[in-house]
Each structure stands twice: as structure tokens, then as C-alpha cells.
């Protein structure tokens, strides 16, 4: 919060160059790097967490002992599979309305999987 | 309230400038007020109830964990702010729950609205999505507080604890599918490298929020190389 108070404006201003080029690219209907960078950052963020779940299971209780908690991995996999089903129906069966419920539905089923394990 | 239609470039610029200034003013003011309230609450409660903690012991306790959290906070600010934008950034840092709610919410809203990152439209969509998320959270929390006693058996149920402990893996599993399937080549490298890192240095699993920075930087670097290669090819053709 404190960092946000002091640096939000100046930090975003520093990124302004990218913002302006992003707007220009959007106008030109050409994909700019700003959008790719944002997606990449998010993929990096998700990968950091996914890696930590695998690392915790494999080496969490001693290196390569496979004695750690496997629940987060199973939950993530179940959630991803349910998301795949939602995406299939939304894209292939044209049930676009499902998209609004896909994340919430996948999360709920993933969490139910955690209870059932 | 005056409503204008901004249909030419100069009035659009004027609107964006006004919007930006207003966002930062309201954002800073709300952040300052909330910081004072958050920090002041324990002192007010402590003084009012005559139960102030030993401040030197509290300061020592803060120092032992505060340094790690300070680094983590700086990393989170640097990483999350570009994703959230100005308005969304102020709101999200005040209301919290960034990793498990605000960031996925902003990314999902961006995906649904089809806005491009770095544009004013994206900034507005991000702010609206985070505001909606914050309001829904407050409503649910208010309902939860009012129903605390009847809900207690459910909330404290041992059988349901694994579900509550795995909200983030459930969220990231779904989001990972969405993003990985469109960028499989890009996603594989950070996933494999981060996994190897955690396998050989297991203590890092407790510092995941710090590991976002190298993981993000690596992915952005790879994305940049691939984007440059693609733009080069398009430029030549």
C-alpha cells in the first residue's frame, strides 16, 4: 500500500512508453509486445506456483523422497481438466455462456477433489 | 453530472489525462486514509481496552520477519502493478487477496473483454473488474460475519479443511490450462526450470512470492525473443 501510494504513478509513467506503443499497436490492429509481456508475466507467476507444488511433493520432506503433500497437484490437475471440459463445450459446442462460470466451476470441482482425496 | 462524448483524438486525450489524474488523486487519498486506519486500529483497540502489547518486543518481532516481507512486497508491487494498472493497483493493494483473487480477476476480465494490455480500455476494464471483485468480497464477508454462528460447523468442519487450503491450486490449475494451451512452448520452459529449482532447493517453496520475479523475468525474456523473431519475419514478408 505504501509503495502504491508513493510509486504507482511514477512506475506506471515509466511503463508509459510501452503503453503508448501498445495503444498505437492496438490502433494498427498489430499485436504489440505489451500484451505478450503481460501474458508472459502471468505464465511466469502460474509456473512459479505450479513448480512449488511439484517441488513440495517431491522434495518437501527430504530431497526426492516423494513424501510431501500431493493434494495441491491433484487439485490443480482436476481443476485444469474441468476447465478443459468447460472450454470444449464453450468453443466446440458454442455454449459461450459457460465461459462466465468456467473458472468458478473448475475451482469448485478442484476443491471438492481435495475433500475426496 | 456532466456527460461528454469523446469522439475525436484531442478530446479523447483530454479525457484520458483527466481520468488518470483523478484515478491517482482518489487512489492516493484512499491509500493514505486506509493506511492510517489499518495501522491505527490495533493501537486504538489496545489503548481503549488497556491491552497494549510491549512495543519494543513487537518491533523486534517485526524486524525478524519484516525484512523478508519487505523484499516480497517490493517484488509484488513491481510485478502486479503493470498487470493491475493505476486504479486497479490502488484498489487491489488496499483490499488485498491479490494472488488468489484480484490478479486472476483482472486477467480474466481482460480475456473476456478482449482488451489489449497497455491501452486505456484495459486500464478501465481492470479497475472495474477489481472494484466488482472487492465489492462482492465485502458483501460475502459481511454475510459471512452475520451468519458466523450458524456457519461455524461448516467453516470449522475438518472434512472441508482440505478444500479451503487448496483454493490457490484450484484457481491456478484452471488458469494454467487457459494460458498454457495457448502458449505451450513458452509455458514449458519456466515450468520445468522452476520445478527443477524447487526440487533441488526445497526451502524455496516457502518463498514462492519471491520466486515470481525470476520466473516472470525469464518468461518475459523468452516471450520477447519469440515476439522479436515473429515481428522480424512479418517485417521481411
Residue A36 C-alpha, separation from nearest chain B C-alpha, in angstroms: 7
B146 vs B8, which has greater pLDDT? Answer: B146
Q: State the complex-level ipTM.
A: 0.84
Residue A94 lies in a domain: yes
Residue A4 lies in a domain: no
The number of distinct structural domains making up chain A is 2
What digits encode the pLDDT tens for the residues B145-188? Answer: 899 889 888 888 899 999 999 999 999 999 999 999 999 999 99
Q: Which helix (H) or strand (E) holds B232?
A: helix B208-236
User: What is the maximum alpha-carbon separation in chain A?
Assistant: 54
| Torsion from C-alpha of B149, B150, B156, B158, nearest 10 degrees | 160
B116 within 8 A of B139, measured Cβ to Cβ: no
What digits encode the pLDDT tens for the residues A59-89? Answer: 989 889 999 999 999 999 999 999 999 999 9
Nearest CA in chain A to B195: A51
* Confidence at residue A29, expressed as pLDDT on a 0 to 100 scale: 47
What rounded mean pLDDT belongs to chain A?
85
Cβ-based contacts of A101 with chain B (< 8 Å): none
Same-domain check for residues A87 and A57: no
Same-domain check for residues A54 and A77: no
Q: Output the pTM of the full model.
A: 0.78
What rounded mean pLDDT belongs to chain B?
88
- Which residue range(s) make up the domain with A60? 10-66
* Confidence at residue B236, expressed as pLDDT on a 0 to 100 scale: 65
Residue B14 C-alpha, separation from nearest chain A C-alpha, in angstroms: 15
Asked which of A23, A40, A66 is the last residue of a domain, the reply is A66
Cβ-based contacts of A54 with chain B (< 8 Å): 195, 198-199
Judged against a pLDDT cut of 80, whether residue A34 lies above it is answered with no
* CA distance to A88, A98, B88, B90, per residue, from B84 (Å): 29, 25, 5, 9
Residue A8 C-alpha, separation from nearest chain B C-alpha, in angstroms: 7
Judged against a pLDDT cut of 60, whether residue B19 lies above it is answered with yes
* Confidence at residue A3, expressed as pLDDT on a 0 to 100 scale: 84
Pick from B10, B20, B2: which is nearest to B124 by CA?
B20
Neighbours of B97 (CB within 10 A): 13
DSSP single-letter state for residue B117: T
Cβ-based contacts of A100 with chain B (< 8 Å): 112
Give the one of A33, A60, A80 whose C-beta lies nearest to B174's C-beta. A80
Give the one of B32, B174, B208 whose C-beta lies nearest to A106's C-beta. B174
Cell (9 digits) for B116: 489489449
Cβ-based contacts of B187 with chain A (< 8 Å): 43, 46-47
Cα atoms found within 13 Å of the Cα of residue A85, Cβ hemisphere only: 10
Amino acid at each position: 500500500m505504501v509503495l502504491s501510494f508513493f510509486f504507482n504513478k511514477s512506475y506506471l509513467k515509466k511503463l508509459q512508453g510501452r503503453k503508448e506503443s501498445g495503444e498505437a499497436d492496438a490502433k494498427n490492429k498489430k499485436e504489440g509486445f505489451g500484451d505478450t509481456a503481460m501474458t508472459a508475466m502471468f505464465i511466469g507467476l502460474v509456473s512459479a506456483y505450479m513448480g512449488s507444488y511439484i517441488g513440495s511433493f517431491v522434495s518437501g520432506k527430504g530431497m526426492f523422497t516423494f513424501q510431501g503433500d500431493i493434494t495441491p497437484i491433484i487439485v490443480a490437475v482436476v481443476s485444469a481438466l474441468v476447465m478443459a471440459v468447460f472450454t470444449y463445450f464453450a468453443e466446440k459446442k458454442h455454449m459461450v455462456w459457460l465461459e462466465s462460470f468456467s473458472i468458478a466451476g473448475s475451482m469448485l470441482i478442484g476443491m471438492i477433489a481435495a475433500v475426496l482425496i | 453530472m456532466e456527460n461528454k462524448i469523446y469522439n475525436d483524438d484531442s478530446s479523447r486525450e483530454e479525457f484520458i489525462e483527466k481520468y488518470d489524474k483523478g484515478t491517482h488523486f482518489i487512489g492516493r487519498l484512499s491509500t493514505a486514509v486506509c493506511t492510517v486506519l489499518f495501522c491505527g486500529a490495533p493501537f486504538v483497540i489496545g489503548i481503549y481496552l488497556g491491552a497494549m502489547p510491549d512495543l519494543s518486543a513487537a518491533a523486534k518481532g517485526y524486524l525478524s520477519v519484516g525484512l523478508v516481507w519487505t523484499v516480497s512486497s517490493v517484488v509484488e508491487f513491481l510485478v502486479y502493478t503493470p498487470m493491475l494498472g493505476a486504479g486497479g493497483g490502488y484498489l487491489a493493494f488496499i483490499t488485498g487477496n491479490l494472488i488468489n483473487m484480484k490478479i486472476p480477476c483482472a486477467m480474466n476480465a481482460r480475456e473476456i473483454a478482449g482488451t489489449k494490455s497497455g491501452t486505456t480500455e484495459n486500464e478501465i476494464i481492470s479497475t472495474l473488474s477489481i472494484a466488482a471483485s472487492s465489492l462482492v468480497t465485502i458483501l460475502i464477508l459481511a454475510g459471512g460475519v452475520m451468519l458466523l454462528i450458524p456457519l461455524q460447523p461448516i467453516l470449522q468442519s475438518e472434512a472441508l479443511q482440505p478444500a479451503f487450503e487448496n483454493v490457490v491450486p484450484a484457481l491456478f490449475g484452471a488458469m494454467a490450462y487457459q494460458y498454457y494451451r495457448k502458449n505451450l512452448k513458452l509455458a514449458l520452459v519456466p515450468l520445468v526450470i522452476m520445478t527443477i529449482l524447487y526440487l533441488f532447493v526445497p526451502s524455496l517453496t516457502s518463498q514462492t512470492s519471491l520466486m515470481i520475479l525470476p520466473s516472470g523475468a525469464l518468461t518475459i525474456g523468452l516471450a520477447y525473443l519469440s515476439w522479436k523473431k515473429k515481428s522480424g519475419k512479418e517485417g521481411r514478408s
